[in-house]
Structure 1
Amino acid sequence: MKRATYILPALVIAAAVALASIFIVDERERALVLQFGSVKSVKDEPGLYFKIPFIQEVVRYDGRILGLPTQPLEVTPLDDRRLVVDAFARWRITNVIEFREAVGPGGEQAARDRLDRIINSAIRQVLGSVPSQRVLSEDRTSLMNQIRDQSRREAEALGVDVIDVRLTRTDLPEQNLAATFARMRAEREREAADEIARGNEAAQRVRASADRTVVEVTSEARKQAEVIRGEADAERNRIYAEAFGQDPEFFAFTRSLTAYQRALPGSNSSMVLSPDGEFFNYLNSERGSAPAQPAP
């Protein structure tokens, strides 16, 4: 009975010591075995491992690719035009021993703070050596590659690898936006005024050409109408001449009738003339007598 009383606590202690000496490394992480702060071993592969309980400790680090969004940074390019830049970096721990020695107990958060300073410094140096137009253009891959390479060289001492750096935003500071927008608006209004002026000029040319075409067509039509009218008058006169030559008396008679018709156009028209006037000479002539002069 007394032996069972001692065996049970011993088994509990043994089980606790066994559990304290066993640790598992996940495939997504890397582990360091430390003894009194010094690195004893590195566990890169996933699996079950052992350590000395209460003497050794295990520190785990993420073995995946990590992201780091930087804080907004104001830079001054080569043309002294200030810009606000945001960046996003991807990095990974490549040497856990160097990483532990560089960041100490601070771990990944301390590494992020130091990487943020390294990347910001690289952004200032690279973007400060080019004009702002190149920074604001869509083709800035070479600039991001330069920032990545410079950050990678400086981050090697931390035991990390900077895989990529991307500029997510490049804007003007708030105090410069109003002036920039006003300048852009003035430029667009000037371009609009130029387009309107060119449109009005083109419209004037089209109208002038149309007016000239109208004048030319009208003149040509009038000329053709005059020619046709002249030809018709000549033909009419020729017919009259032929008719007069065939029967002068009848021709005189028809001209007198036409004169009477034109002189008395309405039903209530009246004329006061002498009966023996020349206007009635043809009517006063007797049948079979000599032809009278036609009424003028």
Structure 2
Amino acid sequence: MNRAALILPVLVFIIAGALSSVFIVDEKEKALVLQFGQIKAVREEPGLYFKIPMVQEVVRYDDRILGLDVEPLEVTPLDDRRLVVDAFARFRITDVQRFRQAVGASGLTLAENRIDTILRAQTREVLGGVTSSEILSADRAALAARIRDASRNEASTLGVEVIDVRLKRTDLPVQNLDATFARMRAEREREAADEVARGKEAAQRLRAQADRTKVELVSDAQRQSEIIRGEADARRNAVFAEAYGADPEFFDFYRSLAAYRASLLGGNSTMVMAPDSEFFNYLKSDQRR
């Protein structure tokens, strides 16, 4: 009975020790076997592994692609137009042994801080060498690739590979927005004023041209009407002259009748003249006979 009581704890201890000496590395991670803080083994392939219980420990690191949002930072391009840039990066731990040596027990937190510092420095350096127009254009993808390549060299000392860098947002600083909007508004108002001035100038030019054309047309019409009226008067006088030459007495009689008709129209038919006036020659009895 006493022997069984002694054997049972020993078996439990042996089983616990055996279980604590076994560890599993899956496909999403890499592991380091540490002994008193020193690296004894690197386990990068998925599988079942062993370690010395109570002496060695296992530290696991994520083998997947990780994301990091870089804190927004201000950059000053070549044209001195300050911009606020918001970027993010994708990275992966490629060398867990170097990663452990670089960041120690702080692990991923310290690594992200150092990667953030690297990305901020490279972003300022790359974007500071171009104009703001290039940053805001379609060339920003090429600029992000330059930031990635430059950051990749420095991050490799941490055992990390920077896979991708993207510029999410590029804006003006808040304190510059009002001034920029005011300047843009002033430029648009100036352009609008220029357009209005050009429109008024064009309208004045067209109006003057129309007035000139009207004067020319009216003058030409009056000239033609005077010519036609003069020709008609000449033709009328020629007809009268021809009629008078053919029968002067009949022409005088016709003219007198026309004068009688014109003078006796209307409600007032009273005329005052001498009885022997030639106006009544064709109304006298001897003339009728």
**TM bracket, shorter-chain basis:** 0.7 to 0.9
- More displaced 10-residue stretch of structure 1: 272-281 or 46-55: 46-55
Going from structure 1 to structure 2, the CA distance change for 1:286 and 1:180 (only over 3 Å counts) comes to: same
Partner of 1:116: 116
Q: CA–CA distance in 1 between the matches of 2:33 and 2:255?
A: 141
Q: CA–CA distance in 2 between the matches of 1:156 and 1:15?
A: 42
Q: Is 1:147 equivalent to 2:147 in the alignment?
A: yes
Q: How does 1:189-200 map to 2 (within 5 A)?
A: 189-200=189-200
Q: CA–CA distance in 2 between the matches of 1:7 and 1:226?
A: 146
Partner of 1:206: 206
Partner of 1:40: 40
- More displaced 10-residue stretch of structure 1: 96-105 or 243-252: 243-252
Partner of 2:234: 234
What TM-score, normalized to structure 1?
Answer: 0.82
CA contact (8 A) 2:30 2:60 kept: yes
Going from structure 1 to structure 2, the CA distance change for 1:281 and 1:40 (only over 3 Å counts) comes to: same
Q: How does 1:91-240 map to 2 (within 5 A)?
A: 91-240=91-240
1:120 positional shift: 1.1
2:144 match: secondary structure: helix
Going from structure 1 to structure 2, the CA distance change for 1:102 and 1:259 (only over 3 Å counts) comes to: same
Amino acid at match of 1:151: S
Q: CA–CA distance in 1 between the matches of 2:32 and 2:181?
A: 55
1:267 match: secondary structure: coil
Q: How does 1:57-72 map to 2 (within 5 A)?
A: 57-72=57-72
Residues 253-294 of structure 1 deviation map (CA, whole Å, 9 limit, x = unaligned): 2221221222233124432233322221222263566xxxxx
What TM-score, normalized to structure 2?
Answer: 0.84
Residues 82-106 of structure 1 deviation map (CA, whole Å, 9 limit, x = unaligned): 3322222221211111111111222
Going from structure 1 to structure 2, the CA distance change for 1:249 and 1:70 (only over 3 Å counts) comes to: same
Partner of 2:249: 249
1:272 match: secondary structure: coil
Aligned pairs, how many? 289
CA contact (8 A) 2:92 2:163 kept: yes
Partner of 2:262: 262
Partner of 1:292: none
Q: CA–CA distance in 1 between the matches of 2:152 and 2:167?
A: 16
Q: CA–CA distance in 1 between the matches of 2:231 and 2:8?
A: 144
Q: CA–CA distance in 1 between the matches of 2:219 and 2:241?
A: 32
Going from structure 1 to structure 2, the CA distance change for 1:268 and 1:288 (only over 3 Å counts) comes to: closer
- More displaced 10-residue stretch of structure 1: 157-166 or 36-45: 36-45
Amino acid at match of 1:38: Q
- More displaced 10-residue stretch of structure 1: 109-118 or 249-258: 249-258
Going from structure 1 to structure 2, the CA distance change for 1:47 and 1:273 (only over 3 Å counts) comes to: farther
Unaligned stretches of 5+ residues in structure 2 = none
Going from structure 1 to structure 2, the CA distance change for 1:279 and 1:99 (only over 3 Å counts) comes to: same
Partner of 2:27: 27
2:98 match: secondary structure: helix
1:155 match: secondary structure: helix
Q: CA–CA distance in 1 between the matches of 2:102 and 2:223?
A: 103
Amino acid at match of 1:281: N
Q: CA–CA distance in 1 between the matches of 2:13 and 2:228?
A: 134
1:286 match: secondary structure: helix
2:24 match: secondary structure: strand
Unaligned stretches of 5+ residues in structure 1 = 290-296
Amino acid at match of 2:64: R
Instruction: Extract structure 1 runs of 4+ deviating beyond 6 A.
Output: 1-11
Going from structure 1 to structure 2, the CA distance change for 1:278 and 1:97 (only over 3 Å counts) comes to: same
Q: CA–CA distance in 2 between the matches of 1:19 and 1:205?
A: 100
Cα root mean square deviation, aligned? 3.0
2:107 match: secondary structure: helix
Going from structure 1 to structure 2, the CA distance change for 1:143 and 1:175 (only over 3 Å counts) comes to: same
1:165 match: secondary structure: strand
1:10 positional shift: 6.7
